[in-house]
Every structure is written in structure tokens, then in C-alpha cells.
A and B are shown apart, each in its own frame.
Chain A
Amino acid sequence: MKKINLLTWTLIGSVALLSSCSKDDDHADHCDSCHITIEGATGADSLAWHVTDANGEDIVFCGDDLHEAEESLTITTALSEENGGASLPAGTYTHEQGGYAIHCHED
């Protein structure tokens, strides 16, 4: 009987272990900076602009703002290309429109 009890508790424990590990939302409190990319004019490389404030510091987005930023971003001042390429003019950029892509995580 003792062994059956042990087995039962092991089963219950393992189910509890698994259910405690499942995650419906792994990123609710996550914050990150974003960058915008586009294919280069030759089609053989790509350009990337980090979304920064007027001081050149990365803007950090959190939660719903982060999700929205991934979809569309409005920038008020031109952004510098990370490898010295052409600047990105101020304006609204939407993910996968006009060749632009928005990524909100580190490379």
C-alpha cells in the first residue's frame, strides 16, 4: 500500500511540476529596443537603423507598446544607419510594407 501511495504522489507531483512550468505568456513584462531593416539598393545586402531618441539613445518599448512598435513605428527625427549608410528619414514605418521590417530584439 505504501508503494502505491508513493506512486500516486509521484504521479501527482509530476503533473504539478509540468503544469507549473507551462507558460501562456512568456513576454508580458518584457522590454526591448527596436531596429528597422530594409534590403540594400543592390539587393545583395541590407541596411539597419536602430530606433533612438534625439540623444542617440535606444528607445525602450515595453508590453503592449512593444507589440505595437513591432507592427508600426513613427519616428520624428532621421535615424543613422548602423554601418554608416543612408539615414532613415522621419516618418511612419510599418512592418513588411515598402520593404521595411521592424525587429524588437538584439541580433
Chain B
Amino acid sequence: MKKFLVLSFLMMNIFTTYSQTRGIVLGPNNMPLNEVNILLLDQNIILLSNEDGEFITELDIPNNSYISFFKAGYLSKTLVHKEGKDLKIILEKLHVILDEVGVSESIYELGNSKLVNLEKKLLSSMKTQSMVDDIAEISGVDVISSGLGIQKVVVRGLSGMRVVTYLNGMQINNQQWANDHGIGFTDLGLSEVELIKGASALKYGSESIGGLLYFKDDPFIASDKLKGFITSRYNNSSYLSSSKFGVKWNRKNLYFNLYGQYSLSSDYRLPNARFLNNSRFQQNAIKFSLAYSHNNWQNIFRYHLHEETAGIPGHVHTSDLQAVNILDITSPNLDLLILEGKYPNLNFGTDFKPYRPTQFINNQLLIYETTYMLNNFKFDIYAGHFINNLKEYERWGKPSFDINLSNTLFTPNIRYNTDFFNLNLGAQIISQKNINNEDYRLVPDASSFSFGPYLIIDYVKDNIGINAGVRYDNKNLKTNDQILNIDYENRFSSTSFSSGIYYKYIDHIFRFTYSGAYRTPHFSELFSDGVHHGTNRYEIGDSKLNIEYANQLDLKYQWSNDHFGFVLNPFIQDISDFISIEPTDSVASSYKVYKYRQYDKVNINGLEMNLHYHPHQLHNLHLEQSYSFLHAVNKESKYGLALVPANRIKNKILFSFNNYKKIKKYKFEYLSLSHMHKFKQDNYAEYEEATNAYNIFNLQIALKFSSQFYFTLSLNNLLNETYTPHVSRLRGVAGGVPNPGRFLDINLKYEF
């Protein structure tokens, strides 16, 4: 090891010579392309081409590193950089330029999108209400929520511990076992999210049997100019006000990004104009990233502080949640105009102030990663530390629980790549500690240590490719809690695998994946014992729970031409020893008692489908339709699984004013109308009930005042539909507390 370090250090110095990389990006007919984004994927640095299509950087782009080229209206291209070879790239113009960027198969953080069924979504706070709503645009993805304050992602009917979240390479553990514990960060400074549905994300953990979300920061920028933005948002449902800023700076080999956010929201308004008590929240965050690149070596340090105060709405002290009168948990207090007809009933002194019960969340993330590239090798060492403090107050004087959960991740990885072949060998080492700061505790003090080596191989040549990977995890879970009198130690180990085939025939692409993963029981499932105010339950764990196993078959077929695109994605997932919670006949501390247990066999199968159409006669029109169908069967019970979203169809019509000078002079950019039909959900868990079908329409208009100043105005829930999604946190309270009624959302963004 010592020899290796000395050798690495010497290598770094040998290659410390001044160098410059230049290249040119051309369009059709060899016309130079201006402002093409050139993303150095391995360094996470972006630069732009100039008016002559050229780009020059003093960055020494390492041999065999990946570079991606993209520009609006052109088909993106990813290539492997070869030292000494001219960087001359020709981008193909899209027949229809309405899509922001034509995305071809590429190398993503989670793998090669040719070989793995992974989705990538650019995050845009201008277009949707929240980051989680943005992700839910993807087929097969839904949201568990109670307003905008508490939101979490459901992938193909699975959520909580089964959907693992990564932020810039760090696993986010924020007590996500409970539905009232949200995702733990906002879209501040993030540019995109990658998603693998089901159990095939080997590199980032075997436990993501529902799916894996990987959020990525905006890349660093190689530019002499300081770049940045300011955004502001307002809505008239909860009087949400949110402001963000971001700046990017670069001098020689040093790169710096800084972001900040402050958001404040009161209770949201229901379709009947009453407000849902205590659905208010506050969020503020600051984050920065610092990178230093020198020759083939790069170091990145990141810090992120996120503070959140989230009210827990729908809280009652009764075991019969359905019998609750909705008038008792809502009020007309915030309504300025409709009920009172006069100003001002809104009291800024109290209406935005935390009430009870409330969660106070403090998340801090520290990351250090170092990368060294040499010939065909890339050596990565990643170290991350995430600290989550969650205080849940049901009373004014002292918290119901106050828990520190810290998570330390260390990942060494070696990548070897050639033009056709890619190998990743590495390990994830994770240490986790859960410490209670109060004597009253729902979950005990606990710790775990896991070690998971993996090997993943990709091979792609011409129109065919294969992918295979294997991972072995060993996790030691320990609990020694004197107060709860628990002394437990257990070792869980198992193997995960993923294999896939890719085949392209003319415009037809076939992708088939077979994968298997497992999840160890969480200490909340093993040892919970007490009232959980966030879920209105008394929860009891079972220390005999064991590993749950999942196997998934996933087939994806894609076909597209200039005007029409079609994606069909059926899948089957079998989960054995499925851990779930179910109600009992008992009541404790005024709440119904729920106990964790395991079901022998659960089967989830479904179909996702996407259609895009741009009529040739009207290129400015974009029609989009997506289908998400899911069927979950619990073979051990006549009931279904909890929190399985209803089937849905989404439609979107977008009209761009790009070629209409008369309209364009008024700065109009586009107009879009979206519609979602949710089917009736009559496949539900024992403690749930059926949910009716509903339709939601949203309208959005975008204006572009200048090349730097953007504006969007959205009218959400246009028809003021009264609906409660089946996966709403408040579906079981008072017959279902509805989602927000019709409201306006205004967004402004200025870039410099």
C-alpha cells in the first residue's frame, strides 16, 4: 500500500507539466456551434464553446475520461477522450427542436444508460412545485406527502427504507423509515437526478430493492466570469415564499460553487377554502463545493447545511382516525378574501410560526472525494459524513424524541475503461450510529457497520452490449440500550447481482435486466415501541425479523424517429419475507397499535409506457403521454400492500411560441396544459381503504424577458378538484384530507 501511494505521488509530479486542451464543435455543414456545453464527466466541470465553436482549456483532460457535448436543439454526444487526438465534434441537429436537449445513451453516475434501465431527469424548480413533484413526472414514480412540507418518493409502489437516496455520492439516512420524515434536502444547487427502478443498483447498495435516487450538484464551471442566479417563488395556497441564490467561480485550477435558500410557508388551502392546520413549514439551507484540479488529479470538498421545521398536519388523539371531523383539523383562519371578504385575517406573527406537533430537522453533509486518472484507470476515494438531528415535538416543553443519526461512508473504487469495455471494482464501507438525546424513545440507540465489495463489468460494441455485476454485503447491527433494556447483535450477509443485455436494431432498442438484491431489517422495524405522533400510531417492532429478498425482471423497448417516440417498460418483481406493518385490535396511549411482521411472498408487476409526438406540420407542438400501471399482490393475505399508488395516465400539451414573432415580442416562451388521471385504487392494505379516481389539470405559461431573466406562472388544480391521493399521508384521517385546491404559483429567475 505504501509503495502504491509513493508511486501515485511520483506519477502526479511527473505529469505536472503545463498543458492546454483545445477542440471544436461543429453543427451540420461544418458550421461552428456557439455555447455548446462541454461537460467533463469525470471532473464534473463544464465549459462552453465560443463563437467559432472552439473551446480552449488549461485543464489537462485525462486520457480515457468521458466528455459529454450538449446544446438545445442538438443530439447530445458522449465520447472517450484520447490524448493527442483532435477534439473535433459534430453534433446532429434535431428535426424538432422543442425538446431542450436530445439525449442519447450516455455514461451516467449510476452506470451506462445503454445497459442499465436508468432514468435521468433535469431538475427545474421553474416548472414544478417541488423537487419531489419534479421527480414524480417520471413514469412509475409517485409522492407520499401532506402538502409541500413533508414529501417522499415512491418507486414502483415501494418507499421508505426500500428507496435509497444519494446526494453527490453520499447515502442520505434521515430516519426515512417513517412516512412523516421527508427527503431531507431541497433542489438547491442540484442540476439532475438519476433513478434506477427496482433492485439493480449494485454500486450504491444492495438495500435499494425499490429503487435508487442519485442527486447531483450543478457542475463546476470553467470560466473567467463569475456566474450565478437569483430565484424567487410565491404561491397563494400556503403563501409560500422561497428565495435562492447561487454563484460559481473559477480561477485557474480552483473551482467554487455557493448556494443559499430560505423558504417559508403557512398552512395550505383545501379546495373548500379552509386551511389544513399545521401543514406549514420553513426550510433554509446553505451549501458550497470546492474543487481543485491539477493534471490528472482532482479533489472535491462539499459541505451542505439544511434546516427544516415541518408541521405535522392531521394529528389527532384518537384510535379511530376515520371518525375525525375534518372541521377539527382545518380552519378558515388564513383565508384573506373568500370567507371574510376583508383584510387581514392573515397574521404574520402566528400563521407561519411552528405549532405542534412539529419536526425540527438539522442535516449536515460533508464530502471529500479524490480522483486520479492514469491511462485507462480511474482511482476514486470517496469519504462522506452525514449527520441528521430530528426533534419531534408533540408537546411545547420537551420533545417526544430527539435523535442524532450519523452516517459515515467510505468508498474506494477503481475503474478501468477502454472504448468498449468498462470495469468497476470497489467497496462501500458504511458506519451508522443512532443516538437518542431523550429518555423517551420510540427507537433505541443502535449502530451498524457494513462492508460491501462489488465488481461491475460493462461491454458495448456497435449495436450490442452486456452488463454483469455482483456484490457481497456483510452488515453487523448492534443495539445496547439500557433505557429500553435491549441488548441485541446480529450479522446479516447476502449477495446481490445484476445482469443485462442491450441490443439495437435500426431505431429499435431492446434492454433486458435481471437483478437480485436484499434488505436487512432496520432497527425501527426490529425495536420500535411507543407512540409515533407523526403517523398517529403506537408502533411495535419485532426483533425476530430477518432479511427480505427481491428479484426483478425488467424489459425496456424504445423506438423513435424525428417526430414520434415510444417507450414500453414491463417489469416483474418478487419479494420474499417482505417486512410490513399491520394494525392490531389493541389501543395504547390513545393510539391504535401497529406491529411489524414479515410476509412470505409479495409480487409487484407493472407496465410503464411513454409516448412523445411532434406533428410534422406543427413542430412547435409537443404532445406527451405516460402510463404507470402497477399491481401488487400479497400472497399471504387477501389485502394488498400499503401505500401503493393508483394507476395513472399523464398527458401534456406544450406549445412553444419560438417561431411566432408577433407573440414572441411580448416575451412569451411557451404555454402548457397537463392532465393527470388517477384510477380508482381498490387494491389496498388492511388498514387502508379504496380511493376514488380523479382528474387534475395544470396550466403553465412561461415568459423570457431577456436571455437571463425567466418567469413562469402556473395555475395548479385548475378545476379545484377535491382529491386525496391513495398514498397521501392523510388518506386515513377524516376520510381523507384533500390535497391543495386551485392555486397560483409564480417563479422568477435571473441568471448572470
Interface set of A (CB-CB < 8 Å, partner B):
3, 6-7, 10-11, 13-15, 17-18, 21-22, 26-27, 30, 32, 35, 37-40, 43-46, 48, 66-67, 70-71, 96, 101, 103-107
Contact = CB atoms under 8 A, between A and B. Distances in A.
B319 A46 contact: yes
A26 B262 CA distance: 17
Contacts of A3: 226, 249
B277 interface: yes
B258 A18 contact: no
A13 to B, nearest CB: 8
Contacts of B309: 26
Contact of B396 (A21, A37, A40, A66): A66
A78 B262 CA distance: 48
Given A18-B260, A21-B262, A107-B317, A39 B355 contact: no
B590 A37 contact: yes
Interface stretch (B509-517, B580-588, B741-749): B580-588
A105 B305 CA distance: 30
Most buried by A among B256, B277, B284, B397: B397
Interface of B: 226, 245, 247, 249, 256, 258, 260, 262, 277, 282, 284, 286, 305, 307, 309, 315-320, 324, 328-329, 353-358, 360, 394-397, 585-590
Contacts of B226: 3, 6-7
Contact of A45 (B307, B354, B587): B587
B260 A17 contact: yes
B586 A43 contact: yes
Given A17-B260, A70-B395, A106 B277 contact: yes
Contacts of A107: 315-317, 324, 328-329
Contacts of B328: 106-107
A46 B317 contact: yes
A48 B394 CA distance: 17
Given A3-B226, A39-B587, A105-B355, A48 B307 contact: no
A17 B396 contact: no
B396 A44 contact: no
Contact of A15 (B286, B358, B586): B286
Given A3-B249, A46-B587, A70-B397, A10 B258 contact: yes
Contacts of A96: 589
A50 to B, nearest CB: 12
User: What are the nearest 5 A-B pairs in CB distance?
Assistant: A67-B397, A14-B260, A46-B590, A105-B356, A3-B226
A17 B587 contact: no
A27 B396 contact: yes
A40 B354 CA distance: 31
A42 to B, nearest CB: 8
A39 B258 contact: no
Contacts of A106: 277, 328, 355
Contacts of A17: 260, 262, 284, 286
B588 A39 contact: yes
Given A7-B258, A10-B258, A37-B317, A101 B587 contact: no
8 contacts: A3-B249, A15-B286, A27-B354, A39-B588, A44-B587, A46-B319, A70-B396, A105-B357
Contacts of B356: 104-105
Nearest to A64: B397
A34 to B, nearest CB: 10
B317 A18 contact: no
Given A14-B260, A21-B307, A105-B355, A7 B589 contact: no
Given A3-B249, A6-B226, A101 B317 contact: yes
Contact of B590 (A10, A13, A38, A104): A38
B319 A103 contact: no
B528 to A, nearest CB: 18
Contacts of B397: 66-67, 70-71
Nearest to B251: A4
B354 A26 contact: yes
Contacts of A13: 260
Nearest to A106: B277
Contacts of A18: 260, 284, 286, 305, 307
Contact of B247 (A7, A15, A27, A46): A7
Given A14-B260, A38-B590, 16 more contacts: A6-B226, A7-B226, A7-B256, A10-B245, A10-B247, A15-B286, A18-B305, A18-B307, A26-B353, A32-B396, A37-B317, A44-B585, A46-B318, A48-B317, A104-B356, A107-B324
Given A21-B282, A32-B396, A45-B320, A101 B590 contact: yes
Contacts of A45: 318-320, 587
Given A3-B249, A17-B262, A21-B282, A101 B589 contact: yes
A105 B315 CA distance: 10
A93 B360 CA distance: 29
B265 to A, nearest CB: 14
A106 B327 CA distance: 12
A26 B317 CA distance: 23
Contacts of B247: 6-7, 10
